[in-house]
Amino acid sequence: MSNLLSQRLALLNQPAHRPLLSQGLRGIERETLRVHADATLAVTPHPAALGSTLTHPQITTDYSESLLEFITPAEHDIATALDQLDVIHRFAYTKLGNEMLWSQSMPCILPEEKDIPIAWYGTSHIGMIKHVYRRGLALRYGKSMQCIAGIHYNYSLSEQLWKVLQQAEQTRGDAMHVQSENYIAMIRNFHRYSWLLMYLFGASPALATAFLRGRSHQLDTLSADTLYLPYATSLRMSDLGYQNNAQDGLVPPYNNLMEYMRSLSIAVRKPYAPYEQLGTQVDGEWVQINTNVLQIENEFYATIRPKRVIRTGERPIEALCARGVQYVEVRCMDVNPFDPLGINLETSRFLDAFLLFCALDESPLTNDAEGHENTQNFALTVKEGRRPGLMLNRAGTAISLQDWGLELLQKIAATADLLDAEHGGTAHADSLKIQTAKLHDSSLTPSAKVLEAIRAEQGSFIQFALKQSSKLAEEFRARPPSAEESQYFDALARQSIAEQTDMETTQSGTFDEFITDYRSRTSSQLCCEN
């Protein structure tokens, strides 16, 4: 354990400071496709009874009209957020008719590319720019890739906790700056160790053959309709999932918030020849926001992002520049098909201990060589993580995944114990024991269990996924929301529709003017560059 980690743990374990550990916020965003009983994509419009996808705070869509996204409010205890996610699922099922939610990260049977519906957010300028952005994604990467689903885990520590650390360590700078740079240090550590999350929680070792649409690949054949890699943990996070060659080297390893924002600012202004050939309009209709490497900052595919809640019409980089980092969004978690919500409390407790470790441990400045090493360790783990004796690289020296993982868990045990001391009970330490068992026996990992279940269904990914999705659908339908819960979400739906209507009827100017103004707010002179 590093000296800094020991000192910080001792400081936060003091009775005056330990309650701060309960004052951070947690939230979950869960993506899931709507499908029919034959495992084909439901290309029907977003159910109107669920409300407006533009303005509803908890139920929206991601890329496609068919790809639901459930968002929990931010809560001090992740258990509360999971309870709320459960209610959202149960309510949604009362409005889905014969459709159900797909229980996997990798997609169901998809129609032809042209028939995958892009999410629609109405005719307001804000709604239209969201739709045009997704049109651009279709042009750049194809629609199939955008139908991959994941779990995003939002995590913050109390702002007062950062101030306690700043005072104890006599760190110079205003509180917002110090907090932001601490989150950046946390992200550096996350990049060093996130391969561990892929081993422990990756749950997409196989996919439907048709998903690749004839693209070349190096996967093995499991059955007539299924491809896989025998030791893979997360094909979703491999180069077969989210990928974009234009983004290679886009955001190099960064040591402060300014470096991160500068890289993104350049990317949203840097022309990219293949996108320039596509143009921004076809027959007078917008097909992408711009022809640059990124249309907007959110197009950057990162496993973790520094975030700040944005205001209506505000760009993410504007929010970070003006008000600093507020929380991090972990984006690499697969949907676990065995968990009704795609993630469970045990996993969440471990994530809290893991992220607290990343936040409190020593985080040396990084460089391109370490960045390449981190990327290679992650790539090896998602494709070969369960291979016996798999070796990773740590500071240029080979080390087995198992040995490094067990070493990390020993360090994380200290943050788990601190969290348990504050919350009461042993939930965090118990979760750590379960992860330790996975490192000793790879058959206990979700990816191994998924492969075992697929093999039990004649090696068919679709057959397994459909069976599991149907099972979970029955369980949700058997637990409908209470009258009070239904009334709450019905009211949210009505309110969201009214808000969208108001936006559409009161806006001024043309969409062309709006999008021109939006694109102009990517100045090379960042406001906090001084």
Q: Is the model's pLDDT at 38 over the cut of 60? A: yes
Local structure of residue 113 (DSSP, 8 states)? G
> What angle (nearest 5°) sits at the alpha carbon of residue 8, between those of residues 419 and 17?
60
Neighbours of 397 (CB within 10 A): 8
Of 48-57, 277-286, 312-321, 338-347, the least confident? 312-321
**Secondary structure of 323-370 in HEC code, one letter for each residue:** HCCCEEEEEEECCCCCCCCCCCHHHHHHHHHHHHHHHHCCCCCCCHHH
For residue range 258-275, list pLDDT tens digits in order. Answer: 999 998 888 888 999 999
C-beta of residue 252 within 8 angstroms of C-beta of residue 507: no
359-364 mean pLDDT: 98
Nearest-angstrom CA–CA distance, 252 and 302: 11
Return mean pLDDT, the chain.
Answer: 94
β-strand pairing of 285-286 with 304-307: unpaired
Neighbours of 114 (CB within 10 A): 8
Nearest-angstrom CA–CA distance, 223 and 454: 10
265 against 493, higher pLDDT: 493
Q: Is the model's pLDDT at 466 over the cut of 60? A: yes
pLDDT band for 241, please (50, 70, 90 cuts).
low
489, two tokens: 């979400």
pTM above 0.85, yes or no: yes
Cα diameter, the chain: 66
For residue 311, the model assigns a pLDDT of 84
- Percent of the chain past pLDDT 90, that is, above it, reads 88
pLDDT band for 6, please (50, 70, 90 cuts).
very high
Nearest-angstrom CA–CA distance, 308 and 156: 10
For residue 528, the model assigns a pLDDT of 45
Nearest-angstrom CA–CA distance, 152 and 28: 6
Q: Is the model's pLDDT at 523 over the cut of 90? A: no
102-129 mean pLDDT: 97
C-beta of residue 99 within 8 angstroms of C-beta of residue 108: no
Domains in the chain (CATH in brackets) are 20-198+234-365+465-507 (3.30.590.20)
pLDDT band for 252, please (50, 70, 90 cuts).
confident
For residue 525, the model assigns a pLDDT of 44
Of 99-113, 253-267, 443-457, 510-524, the least confident? 510-524
Nearest-angstrom CA–CA distance, 176 and 159: 9
Q: Is the model's pLDDT at 181 over the cut of 80? A: yes
C-beta of residue 336 within 8 angstroms of C-beta of residue 344: yes
Q: Which residue has the tokens 């996610």?
A: 85
307-328 mean pLDDT: 89
For residue 524, the model assigns a pLDDT of 47
Provide the residue type at 365 as one letter. Answer: L
pLDDT band for 529, please (50, 70, 90 cuts).
very low
Tell me how far the alpha carbon of residue 202 is from its chain's centroid: 13
Nearest-angstrom CA–CA distance, 11 and 418: 11
Q: Is the model's pLDDT at 41 over the cut of 80? A: yes
- Percent of the chain past pLDDT 70, that is, above it, reads 97
Q: Report DSSP letters for 390-404, one per residue.
A: -EEEETTEEEEHHHH
